[in-house]
Amino acid sequence: MSTNQIRPKDILLSGDKISIEWQDNHTSEYSSRDLRLGCRCAACIDEWTQRPILDPVTVPAQVEILDYLPVGNYAYQFLFNDEHYTGIYTFEFLRSLCGCSSCQGG
């Protein structure tokens, strides 16, 4: 997949769901909770060992993304309603999280 294909074209927040339409016209659907649990910031993942620090039990079942900010030309930073906002989600990482059969090789 080329760099142009992993760039988002549009993003839509809808309650506990988020949709990203990519430049290749593929649309990825994510739950806000899955993205919150997938955060790779230093508060969620140990920087040295890469072991998870975040206890999933501490993340509310109904966590939502309230807003997002672009980070350069390569990522988004999400603001979750549990007041977590330190993670940076690269476009490549977000695309890798797409659970559809096309993206997962099925």
Give the list of residues 6+ apart from residue 19 with CB closer than 8 angstroms, or none: 11, 12, 27, 28, 29, 30
What per-residue confidence (pLDDT) applies to 106?
65
Nearest C-alpha neighbor of 21 from the set 36, 7, 35 = 7
How many Cβ atoms are within 10 Å of 36's Cβ, its own excluded? 22
Q: Domain residues of the chain, as ranges?
A: 3-96
The reply to whether CATH 3.60.150.10 applies to domain 3-96 is no
> Would you give per-residue pLDDT tens digits along the chain (106 residues)?
554 568 999 999 998 999 999 999 999 999 999 999 999 999 999 999 999 999 999 999 999 999 999 999 999 999 999 999 999 999 999 999 998 888 887 6
What per-residue confidence (pLDDT) applies to 105?
76
CA pair distance 100, 71, nearest whole angstrom: 25
What per-residue confidence (pLDDT) applies to 87?
96
* One-letter identity of residue 2: S
